Amino acid sequence: MTTALCRVSSNRMFSGNHQRFSHHSNVNHCQMTFAIYQPALASEQALPVLYWLSGLTCNDENFSTKAGAQRVADELGMILVMPDTSPRGDDVPDDIHGAYDFGLGAGFYVNASAPQYQNHYQMYDYVTKELPAIIAENFNVTDKKSISGHSMGGHGALICAIKNPGMYQSVSAFAPITNPMNCPWGQKALAGYLGDNQESWWQWDSCELINSLASDDPFLALPLKVTQGLSDDFLNEQLKPQALIEACEGKGKVLDYTAAEGFDHSYFFISTFIEDHLRFHRKYL
């Protein structure tokens, strides 16, 4: 099925262009927006793609304007694709109290099953199925792709990679929410989108998913890089990197983990280490 794209903006950047597009989403039943950076080389040959998933309160523009990733992507010959963090629109339900950590801007990259949210909040299917199909249909890309993200988006990158063996060449995360079943952000999101039956929550928790893997699961061989600032205000209550470290150790999974002294949760942190992550991914794309 052909998806009609409406170009929202286009800006020359380095050798290529940074563009934003909107389209009707068949899984989220609303208009969605994504950004894409294409080096000039994409006009001559197909290039691999890195998908970036942003965190709470963000849309595609936060990473686009603050991370400084396009310069490195241009040098490395990579396309960057940056979706929004949730469905949006007048008909899309939000948190009834207008909280920042649920609803609009806080889709958590899950497929909602709670009746009031399931019609729109299917961000997992959007990121892993609908959006990649749109990118493949409309842009000059290879079949190789990797995924990365920050905070809520780091959680999203991890679950997308774990649940889809063979889809990605590598995965990385900045300060990911590693164990949402056991932190306030995650508990609120999972209860809201999935309901109170916690037996359904584990399939959206990267630590629980890793703990459940068979010894020959392909994810255990997938290159994984995580960078965490040690001055992050959310480190112990919300992010729980030690839970991910222990889950990987328990399965013999190699984890390239960097504990960055003095860095917080902001885009100052991301912009410092984004080049390391892009070069990490390019080795496998």
277 flagged as catalytic = no
Region 157-183 average pLDDT: 98
232 flagged as catalytic = yes
Q: Check: CB of residue 231 under 8 Å from CB of residue 264.
A: yes
Decide if pLDDT at 175 tops 60.
Answer: yes
Given the residues 18, 150, 265, 277, select the one marked as catalytic.
Answer: 265
**In this predicted model, what pLDDT tens digit does every residue of 256-271 receive, in sequence order?**
999 999 999 999 999 9
**In this predicted model, what pLDDT tens digit does every residue of 43-65 receive, in sequence order?**
999 999 999 999 999 999 999 99
Which residues are registered as beta bridge partners of 29? none
d(CA 202, CA 205): 5
Residue 42: partners with Cβ closer than 8 Å, 6 or more residues away:
16, 79, 139, 140, 141
Decide if pLDDT at 2 tops 80.
Answer: no
The domains of the chain are located at 6-282
Instruction: Output the pLDDT for position 1.
Output: 56
Q: Check: CB of residue 109 under 8 Å from CB of residue 190.
A: no
Q: Check: CB of residue 175 under 8 Å from CB of residue 157.
A: no
Question: Residue 3: pLDDT band by 50, 70, 90 thresholds?
Answer: confident
Instruction: Output the pLDDT for position 37.
Output: 98
Given the residues 25, 146, 148, 151, select the one marked as catalytic.
Answer: 151
Region 220-237 average pLDDT: 98
pLDDT above 70 as % of the chain: 99
**Average pLDDT value for the chain:** 97
Q: May I ask the CATH class of domain 6-282?
A: alpha beta
Question: Residue 183: pLDDT band by 50, 70, 90 thresholds?
Answer: very high
Instruction: Output the pLDDT for position 191.
Output: 98
Given the residues 155, 232, 277, 281, select the one marked as catalytic.
Answer: 232
Please state at what angle helix 267-282 crosses helix 69-76, rounded to 10 degrees.
10
266 flagged as catalytic = no
How far is it between the farthest Cα atoms of the chain? Answer: 51
Q: Strand 79-83 vs strand 30-38: parallel, antiparallel, or unpaired?
A: antiparallel
Instruction: Output the pLDDT for position 73.
Output: 98
